[in-house]
Chains A and B, each alone.
Chain A
Amino acid sequence: MTKGFFTDSTLCIGCKACEVACKEWNQVPADGFVWTGRSYDNTGSLGHSTYRHVKFVESVRGGLPAWDFSSDVCKHCERAGCMEACPTGSIVRTEFGGVYVQPDICNGCGYCVVSCPFGVIDRRPEDGRAFKCTFCYDRQKAGLQPACASACPTESIQYGDLDELRARADARRLALEARGIPDAVVYDPTHTNVGGTHAIFLVRGPVTDYSLPENPEMPSIRLRGGWTSALLGAVVIAGVVALAF
């Protein structure tokens, strides 16, 4: 049964309980204390020791300042760049539909880091392995919600069957429209080779304000062009050597 996250940022109050709960449950190490100067966001981004990141988005809306909050997380892509790139087979799909890094197999090659179009996964320097949101795989197996969903006081982070969450997101968008909020969009990139994600978002305004790429592509889209170039190179090299000798 495919599970998912639906993060409705119109309900988010920026309390960061999700960040704290995630760190506590997964025993994630501290990853620095930096005043970023970006509103109350001193976490900065998702990374090897941050699996939930609350974004504070300042913008101007209708001539007035607007302040939106959204809790970012690993997208658990339907077709995941990190998983396709992983040469050890460490990154796998779980029975709940999440993308999971097996920490006893990862040897820290770093190829997943440059294969994620959302910039989620990273290598932890002191440890050597790659880390990202586990979807609280251990909690899922025990029939519980992920820690962030459990901790969220406004139910901005919702967890459940992906189909139901997608329906809920669309319904919520329409409900907001009816209430005079026309700029809410559901972020679920099904139009690229990622093929949709298991963590969908409802955000107000342009998705790029939330550091969400409009057209995230899994990098294996460039494999055919790359190998063709390699083949051409090999043919030219073999030809040159054969003719020269």
Chain B
Amino acid sequence: MAVEFSTDRPPSPLKPPVWTWEVPLYFFVGGVAGLSAVIALAASLTGEAAATVAAARGVATAGAVVSPMLLIADLGRPARFLYMLRVFKWTSAMSVGAWTLAVFSGATFVALGLWWLAPDGPAWRAALAAADLTAAGAGLVLATYTGVLLGATVIPVWAAHHRMLPFEFGISSLGAAASLVELLGGFTVPLNRVAMAAAAIETALWVYRARKPGSGTQGPRTANHAPRTAHRAPRTAGLLSGPTALILRLAGLAFLPARAGAAAAAIAGSLLLRYGWLAAGRAKV
């Protein structure tokens, strides 16, 4: 009598991420806010129009308010959110990020307050400059560290792209930040340059990925390879913030309304990129 026992492979032991919609939304908001602060610094230093500076500062501050709210809402025990600041650990990208957000929020509020009140005197100006620099520095971290956070996990599809995610998140946020400041504060030449550069870099990334499926992956091979469909949302996002935005920007040189379309594409692409990567990580662990 032949006995057939099942010899199929046991399921993957890894646990899927428990994060919900607040987390990818925070990735987007934090990134846009952080790089708006960088734009605000550059715009103030070069004497850009008040509307542009105001829009950039506004986006940075709004993001500094919304971001902690999103993160707190995602916690299993939201009332304990301050425990994030009990310790600082280099080994935890989340610890670095929590502190960076705290510093960013503080600096942004101080900068907005000083800028709006506009008190006289070199000391106040120096304080504003310090706040702006701090916010910009923290903003650069804010826009890229979430890629480090995802990459430094055991989730195969995230771990495989740990060298690409931080850079990609940063560039995506740059295009979205410039676009949002444009839509709120007016279309200016420098903002167009920034957005076009971001779209060009995104296009290069998209072309590189499209030519070689699964390219840009590094890290240990795991028993369960993430299926190619896991990459579909991030690729669509890249298509929006890359070639679509770039083409519309180029068209916008002749036909101004196309710039608004480009801005929308960059913002949508940046948002979709975050949701796409979170979904990919949950899809097959």
| Chain A contacts to B: CB under 8 angstroms | 38-39, 45-47, 55, 57-60, 65-67, 81, 84-90, 105-111, 113-124, 127-130, 208-213, 215, 217, 219-220, 222-223, 225-230, 232-234, 236-238, 240-245
| Chain B contacts to A: CB under 8 angstroms | 3, 5-7, 9-19, 35, 38-39, 42-43, 45-46, 48, 74-78, 80-81, 83-84, 86-87, 89, 91-95, 98, 140-141, 143-145, 147-149, 151-155, 158-159, 162-171, 174, 190-191, 193-194, 197-198, 201, 218-220, 223, 281
Partner of B190 from the list A121, A220, A226, A245 (CB cut-off 8 Å) is A245
Give 6 closest A-B pairs by Cβ, nearest first.
A108-B76, A128-B76, A233-B170, A107-B80, A226-B148, A119-B13
Q: How far is the CB of B224 from chain A (nearest CB, A)?
A: 11
Q: How far is the CB of B245 from chain A (nearest CB, A)?
A: 14
Are B162's CB and A222's CB within 8 A? yes
Partner of B174 from the list A107, A114, A237 (CB cut-off 8 Å) is A237
What B residues does A105 contact at CB under 8 A?
80, 83, 86
Cα-based distance from A81 to B140 in the complex (angstroms): 26
Are A244's CB and B190's CB within 8 A? yes
What B residues does A106 contact at CB under 8 A?
76-77, 80
Cα-based distance from A45 to B98 in the complex (angstroms): 31
Q: How far is the CB of B249 from chain A (nearest CB, A)?
A: 13
Instruction: Supply 12 further A-B pairs (C-beta < 8 A) apart from A223-B152, A244-B190.
Output: A58-B5, A85-B94, A108-B75, A109-B74, A110-B17, A128-B77, A219-B154, A220-B91, A226-B93, A226-B151, A233-B170, A245-B45
Are B94's CB and A111's CB within 8 A? yes
Q: Which residue of A lies closest to B170 (CB)?
A: A233
Q: Which of A47, A114, A243 has the most CB of B within 10 A?
A: A114
Q: How far is the CB of B47 from chain A (nearest CB, A)?
A: 10
Q: Which residue of B lies closest to A108 (CB)?
A: B76
Could you show 29 A-B contacts with beta carbons less than 8 Å apart? Answer: A38-B6, A39-B6, A58-B5, A58-B7, A59-B5, A87-B84, A87-B98, A88-B80, A89-B86, A107-B80, A110-B17, A115-B154, A222-B151, A222-B152, A222-B219, A226-B148, A227-B166, A228-B163, A229-B162, A229-B163, A229-B166, A233-B144, A233-B166, A237-B35, A237-B38, A238-B38, A240-B198, A244-B191, A245-B45
Are A233's CB and B167's CB within 8 A? yes
Are A107's CB and B153's CB within 8 A? no
Q: How far is the CB of B218 from chain A (nearest CB, A)?
A: 7
What A residues does B94 contact at CB under 8 A?
85, 87, 109, 111
Are B6's CB and A241's CB within 8 A? no
Cα-based distance from A96 to B41 in the complex (angstroms): 52
Cα-based distance from A213 to B191 in the complex (angstroms): 49
Q: Which of A47, A109, A209, A212 has the most CB of B within 10 A?
A: A109
Partner of A227 from the list B98, B148, B169 (CB cut-off 8 Å) is B148
What B residues does A127 contact at CB under 8 A?
76
What B residues does A123 contact at CB under 8 A?
18, 76
Partner of A45 from the list B11, B17, B95, B167 (CB cut-off 8 Å) is B11
| Contacts A128-B76, A237-B38; A116 near B5 (Cβ below 8 A) | no
Q: Which residue of A lies closest to B137 (CB)?
A: A234
Q: Which residue of A lies closest to B219 (CB)?
A: A222
Cα-based distance from A106 to B77 in the complex (angstroms): 8
| Contacts A59-B5, A213-B13; A226 near B18 (Cβ below 8 A) | no
